[in-house]
Structure 1
Amino acid sequence: MRDDLQEIVDEVSRLLDAPATLEDPDFTLLAFCAQGDEALTGLDAVRTRSILTRGSTADTRRWFAGFGIDRATGPLRTPADPDAGILTRLCLPVRHRGRLHGWLWLLDEGRTDLEHPDQPGLAEARRLADRAGELLATRPGSDDAADLHPALAGDEPATHRLADRLGADTPVTLVALRPGEAGLPGTWVPPGAGARSAAVGPLVAVLLPLPHVADDRPAVALSAAALHRLPAGSTAGVAAPRRGCRSLPAQWREAVDAARVAAVEPALAPVASWGELGAWRQVVQLAGPDPAFAALLEDPVLTRTAEVWLDRAGSPQRAAAELVVHRQTLYYRLGRIAALTGLDLADGGDRLALHLTLRSARLTAGDHGSRTTARGSTRVDGLMRGDR
C-alpha cells in the first residue's frame, strides 16, 4: 500500500506542478514528493519539519484545523502566515464513503484556480485523492476503529461487523485510557498487535482480543505500555473479559469506571481492572455523594480524618498514626464528624453510608478534573462517563 500511496502523491505533484504530501487525520506524514532537489528550497518550515519528523506539532495542527479542513469535501486553500514560516497550500481532502482519511497538501504558490474545479489537472488530482481514500480505508484495523465507537453505544450493525471480523466467540476485553491534564497526543497509535482503538471524548477505547477469557493480563500489559506514551497523571481501566462483542457497552462502562477509580485511588493506580475494584464497584454506581453530608465534605480536615479512620477499620491507633496526630485529637475530630452528620459512628450502617459518600465525593472530584478537558457531543460525553 505504501508504494501505491507514493505513486499517487508523485502523480498529483506532477499534475499540479507542486510539491505534495499525504497526511492522515492525525497529521502523520504518509508520503511526499519534493519534485527534485531544486524544489527543496521552496519548502516552508512546517512542511520541512513534517518530512523530517513524519508529523506536525499540535499548534500547527490546530492552525490548519481552524480553516475547516476536517469538514471539507472538496479542494480548499489555506492562507500563508509569513511570521510562522507557512506558505499558502492547496488542500485536497482524502475521503472514502464520506469518512475522512487524511489530506493531500500541495505547495502550489496559489497557482491552482479553485473557481474551476473541473479543470483537467485538478479533476484528476481529486480522483487520485479519492483513490488514496479507498486505499487508506483498507488499512488493518481501519474499519474496526470506525465501528468501535458506535458499538460502545450499542449500535447493533457496528457490533455485528466487529464480531464478524474478530469471531463470534473470541475472548475480548476493553481498555479505557484516560490521559492526564495535557490530553491525548496528536498522533496516537495504541501498542499491541491486534488492538483496535477509537477516541471517545478525551478518552481512548482499545478493543483487545485475548487468548483466554479468564486472563486479562495482555490488556493490563497493553495499558501499562500505553501509559508510558501518555502524559503524567494518565490512568487506564480494564473491563472484565467476555466472549464476543455482544457486551461491549457494559465492558466500556466497566473500563471507564476502573480508569476513574485508578485516578483517585493510589492503591489501584495507574491501571485498575474491574475485577479488583472491590467496594469501588458499588461506589461507581452512585450518582454522587449524599447531600446530607455536605457540611462534612466542606471541611477537608474532617473529611480526610473520616476516610482514613474508616479505611483503617475504625482503628484509632492505626488512623492516628497515618494522620500523624495524637489519639485524643482523633477522638475530638470523630466527635465533630458525628455532630456534623448526625451519625452514630458505632453503628455499622451509619459507617457504611459515610464511607460510601466519602469515596463518591473523591470520585466525583476526579471526574470534575477530567471534564475540564472533555470535548464533543452529549452522546460522546455520556460514553466518556459510562452513563447507564
Structure 2
Amino acid sequence: MKGDYQDLVDELSALLSVPATLENRDFGLIAFGAHDSDDASAMDPVRTRSILTRKSTPAVRAWFEGFGIARATGPVRIPAAPEAGVFRDRICLPVRHRRIVLGYVWLLDAEPGPTQAQLAAAMEVTARIGTLLADEERAGADLSREFRAVLTAERGWQYDMAVAALRSALGADAEGLHTVVCVTPWQQDDAPSARSLPGVAALCTVEWGAGPAAGGAEDRTGATVGPGADDRPGRGSGSGSGTHDRAGATALAGAPAARSARRPEPVGADVPAAPRRDAARGGTALAILVRLRSADAFSPALTAADRLRTSASGEAATAGVAAPRRGLADLNTAWLEATSAARAARAQTRLGPVAQWSDIGPYRMLAALPANPAHDPAVRELLAPSHAELVRTAEVFLDHAGQAGRTAAALGIHRQTLYYRLSRVEQLTGLDLDVGEDRLLLHMALKASRL
C-alpha cells in the first residue's frame, strides 16, 4: 500500500515538475517526492520537518487549515507566513473521497507555477489517492473492531475466533513481532487513525468496568484481576504470623527498647506531606497494537504511547507497554501486562508517564491483588485518611529495607519520631514489623493501595 502512495506522489512530482508531499488529514506524512533541484529553497523548514519528523507543528497546521483546505474541492494557494515557520508559498491539493477530505498533497508554489491543465490532471491523481486512503481507512476500522474483539473476548472459542479474524486482517504481518500499549484514561469519543502513527497495526478503545484507575481487566477465565474485582477475604484475622497485643508496640530491629513507650511526636518535626492517591473512577482505555522490528527496539511503541498519552483529553494520562511477543496468540496476556504497567505508572510517578512491563517490578503481581487492599483487616484502619502520614512513613521504611537511619533521613525526621510512628503503625495494624511475613503483607498492601 505504501508503495502505491509513493508511485502516485512520484507521478504528481513528474506531472507538475515540483516535489510533492502527501499527508493524511491529521498532517501525518505518508509519502514525499524526491528533491533533485539545485534550488535549495525547495527544502524549506516546513517540508524538511515534515519529512524528518513525519508531522507538522500545530502553528503550521493552524495556518494551513485557516484557508479552508478541509472544505476545498480544488487547489488552494496559500501564501507564506514566516511567523508560523512557513517561508514559501504553497499549493494544497485536497485529497477527497465521496466529498470527505482524507489528506492533502503539498506543492511549493513559484513562478510561473503549474498551469490550470496540469492542476486539473493532478486532481485526477489525487482522486486515485483518495480511493486508496478510503480503502485503507475502511480496513483500519474493521481491524479496530477485530482488535477490540480479541481484547474483550472470553478465553475459549470466542477468543480463538477473534484472534483468527485479526490474523486474517493483518495478513503476513500477523506472525511478526508485536507489543500492546495501553493509554489510560482515554476520554475521547473516537480513537485516532492508526495511519497517523508509524508502526501501529491497530488501535481501539476498550471500556473498563470499574475504570482504569480503580478498575481491573478481566482475565480470560472469567475471573477479574486487579481493582474492579469483587471483594475477597483478606489474610485471616490480619494480625500477622503470630499473636500481638494491639495496646502496645513491639520492638523494631535496631531500635532502642525504650521507644515502645507511647509519647508525642516532637513539636516542629519536619513532616513532609503524604503523597496524593488517585480516587477510583470509571473510564475508557485506548489499546494499541504496535509492530516491532526486534525485541529490544521499542521506539515505535514508546513514540505512539507518548503521542497518544499527551493527546488524551482531560487529566494527564499514563501509558503501559507490554513485553514483545511474536504472533497474536497471547494478545490477552499482553493486554493485561500493558494495563498493569499503565496503572503502575499512575501509582508510582518514578515509573511513568510511560512504563514498560519489564520495569514495574512488584507491581506485576500487585496489579492482580483484590479490588481494595484496605479491606484486609490488618491495614483497613491504617489506610484511613487521618493516618496518611503514618502510611507514608511505613512505606518509606519498608522501601528502605527497614533501615531506620536511611528512613529518617529520607523523611527528614528524627529517629525517635520515626520509632514513635512505626509503633503507631504496629498498634493500628496488629502486625509485628520484626516478622518478615508481616512486613511483606504491609508492604504489598501499601503499594497496592496506590493502584
- TM range, normalised to the smaller chain? 0.5 to 0.7
Does 1:271 find its partner at 2:356? yes
Does 1:63 find its partner at 2:66? no
Distance change (3 Å), C-alpha of 1:33 and 1:228:
closer
1:319-330 → structure 2 map (5 Å cutoff): 320-324=405-409, 328-330=416-418
Does 1:252 find its partner at 2:318? no
Following the alignment from structure 2 to structure 1, what is the Cα–Cα distance between the partners of residues 440 and 72? Answer: 57
**How far 1:163 sits from its partner (Å)?**
1.2
Does 1:7 find its partner at 2:46? no
Task: After superposition, give the CA deviation of every residue in 1:266-300 in whole Å (9 maximum; x if it has no partner).
Answer: 699953249974432225x747977973525643x
Following the alignment from structure 2 to structure 1, what is the Cα–Cα distance between the partners of residues 125 and 162? Answer: 29
2:33 is aligned to 32
Aligned-partner SS, 2:127: helix
| Letter of the 2:393 counterpart | T
| Letter of the 1:306 counterpart | A
1:344 is aligned to 430
Task: After superposition, give the CA deviation of every residue in 1:106-144 in whole Å (9 maximum; x if it has no partner).
Answer: 3458999xxxxxx976554333113234556899xx988
2:219 is aligned to none
2:167 is aligned to 163
**How far 1:13 sits from its partner (Å)?**
2.8
1:373 is aligned to none
Maintained 8 Å contact 2:28/2:196? yes
1:176 is aligned to 181
Larger Cα Rg: Structure 1 or Structure 2?
2
2:368 is aligned to 282
Distance change (3 Å), C-alpha of 1:57 and 1:105:
closer
Aligned-partner SS, 1:189: coil
**How far 1:333 sits from its partner (Å)?**
1.0
Aligned-partner SS, 1:222: coil
Distance change (3 Å), C-alpha of 1:227 and 1:174:
closer
Q: TM-score, normalised by structure 1?
A: 0.55
The higher-RCO structure (CA 8 Å, 6+ apart) is 2
Please, which runs of 5 or more residues in structure 1 have no aligned partner? 113-118, 180-185, 211-217, 364-388
Distance change (3 Å), C-alpha of 1:166 and 1:310:
farther
Greater fraction of residues in helix = 1
1:307 is aligned to 395
Task: After superposition, give the CA deviation of every residue in 1:298-317 in whole Å (9 maximum; x if it has no partner).
Answer: 43xx33322134557xx7x4
**How far 1:104 sits from its partner (Å)?**
0.4
Aligned-partner SS, 1:282: coil
| Letter of the 1:189 counterpart | P
Give the aligned CA root-mean-square deviation in angstroms.
5.8
Q: TM-score, normalised by structure 2?
A: 0.49
Distance change (3 Å), C-alpha of 1:226 and 1:44:
closer
Maintained 8 Å contact 1:90/1:110? no
| Letter of the 1:318 counterpart | Q
Following the alignment from structure 1 to structure 2, what is the Cα–Cα distance between the partners of residues 97 and 224? Answer: 36
Task: After superposition, give the CA deviation of every residue in 1:45-79 in whole Å (9 maximum; x if it has no partner).
Answer: 44453477475553445425754989658447475
2:149 is aligned to 154
**How far 1:82 sits from its partner (Å)?**
4.8
**How far 1:236 sits from its partner (Å)?**
4.7
1:79-228 → structure 2 map (5 Å cutoff): 80=79, 81-84=81-84, 86=86, 89-94=90-95, 102-108=103-109, 124-134=121-131, 149-154=144-149, 161-164=165-168, 165-166=170-171, 174-176=179-181, 189-190=198-199, 196=201, 198=203, 205-208=288-291, 219=295, 221-223=296-298, 227=302
Maintained 8 Å contact 2:344/2:351? no
Task: After superposition, give the CA deviation of every residue in 1:186-214 in whole Å (9 maximum; x if it has no partner).
Answer: 98534xxxx7365879977234589xxxx
Following the alignment from structure 1 to structure 2, what is the Cα–Cα distance between the partners of residues 59 and 169? Answer: 34
Please, which runs of 5 or more residues in structure 2 have no aligned partner? 154-160, 185-194, 206-283, 310-317
| Letter of the 1:280 counterpart | L
Distance change (3 Å), C-alpha of 1:346 and 1:35:
closer
